Amino acid sequence: MKPEISIITIGVDDLERAFAFYRALFDIGDDQIGPGEDHVAFFFENGMSFVLYPRGQIAHTAGKSEAVAGTPGFVLSHRAPDEASVDEILERAVVAGGAVITEGTQSEWGYSAYFEDSEGNVWEVMATPPIN
């Protein structure tokens, strides 16, 4: 796998406060913001996104019931060209010593799977159209 990290998701305790901070820090205009029900996404050139997500939700994504010591505060997302590649990368992660968090599933934004590396860091592998 040649990594193409296209989304960095960080866990935050106060979504509004973090939104104000990063919007000011990155000088983000309204056209670069994609609000969601439980998150905020900032869109940059070349399909790169920076997402603010409640820390407890990241714990859930990591397969933990709550944010406990050892729960990562971020998720790295790799964009794969298609669904078969998502499944292949997930298999390679397991062979390399990682663990599957969720198998590949279809959702409103594309096909994705989650795994953790040998150190417990969470990765999402997704097949979605690029963000322009």
Q: Does the pTM of the predicted model rise above 0.75? A: no
User: Encoding tokens for residue 65?
Assistant: 């019931």
Higher-pLDDT residue of 106, 121: 106
Residues whose CB is less than 8 angstroms from the CB of residue 93 and which lie 6 or more positions away in sequence, other chains included:
100, 115, 117, 123
Domain ranges of the chain: 5-82+112-127
What is the per-residue pLDDT for 60?
Answer: 74
pLDDT in tens, 34-87: 878 889 999 988 888 989 988 888 777 666 666 555 556 788 888 899 999 999
Dihedral angle, C-alpha 75, 79, 83, 89, nearest 10 °? -70
In terms of CATH, what superfamily is 5-82+112-127? 2,3-Dihydroxybiphenyl 1,2-Dioxygenase, domain 1 (3.10.180.10)
List the one residue out of 62, 67, 46 whose CA is nearest residue 98.
62
